[in-house]
Amino acid sequence: MIRKIILAMGLAPVVLSAQVPVTPTSSVPGTLPIDRVAAIVGDQTLLWSDVLTTINQRRAQGLTIPPDSAGQAALAHTILGELVDEEILVQKAKEMKLEVADADVIAAADRQIKAARTQFGSDDEYRNELRKAGLGSPEEYRKGLIEQYRRQQLQQKAFAELKKQAKPVNVTDEEVTAAFERSRAELQKRPATVTFRQIVVAPHASAAAKAKAKAHADSLLVEIRKGGDFELIAKRESMDPGTKQLGGDLGWNRRGSGLVPEFEQMMFALRPGEVSPVIETAFGYHIIRVDRVQAAEVKARHILIAPVIDSADVAAAKVEADSVAAQWRRGASYDSLVAKHHDPTEEKGVLQPYPRDSLPASYGGALAGAKAGTITDPFQLANPRGQPKYAVLQVVTATDAGEYNQSEIRDQIRTQLSEERSIRQLLDSMRKHTYVSLRM
Region of 249 please: left (phi>0), alpha (psi -120 to 50) or beta.
beta
Q: How confident is the model at residue 27 (pLDDT cuts 50, 70, 90)?
A: very low
Per-residue pLDDT reduced to its tens digit, 51-69: 888 888 788 777 888 889 8
Single-letter amino acid, residue 196: F
Query: Could you give the C-alpha distances from 242 to 131, 239, 248, 299, 312, in angstroms and in order?
Result: 53, 9, 8, 16, 27
- In the prediction, which pLDDT does 24 show? 40
Per-residue pLDDT reduced to its tens digit, 146-170: 988 998 899 888 888 887 877 788 8
Task: With beta carbons less than 8 A apart as the criterion, state whether 189 and 355 touch.
Answer: no
Per-residue pLDDT reduced to its tens digit, 230-244: 999 999 999 999 899
Task: With beta carbons less than 8 A apart as the criterion, state whether 273 and 417 touch.
Answer: no
- In angstroms, the CA 166 to CA 423 distance is 6
Per-residue pLDDT reduced to its tens digit, 102-142: 888 898 888 888 888 888 888 889 888 888 877 788 898 89
Task: Compute the residue count for the chain.
Answer: 440
Single-letter amino acid, residue 195: T
Query: Could you give the C-alpha distances from 141 to 21, 114, 155, 156, in angstroms and in order?
Result: 22, 12, 21, 22
Task: With beta carbons less than 8 A apart as the criterion, state whether 436 and 198 touch.
Answer: no
Handedness of CA 358, 360, 365, 367 (dihedral sign): negative
- In angstroms, the CA 409 to CA 347 distance is 27
Q: What is the mean pLDDT of residues 77-93?
A: 90
Q: DSSP string of 211-275?
A: HHHHHHHHHHHHHHHTT--HHHHHHHH---TTTGGGTTEEEEEETTSS--HHHHHHHHHPPTT-B
- In the prediction, which pLDDT does 432 show? 87
pTM of the model: 0.53
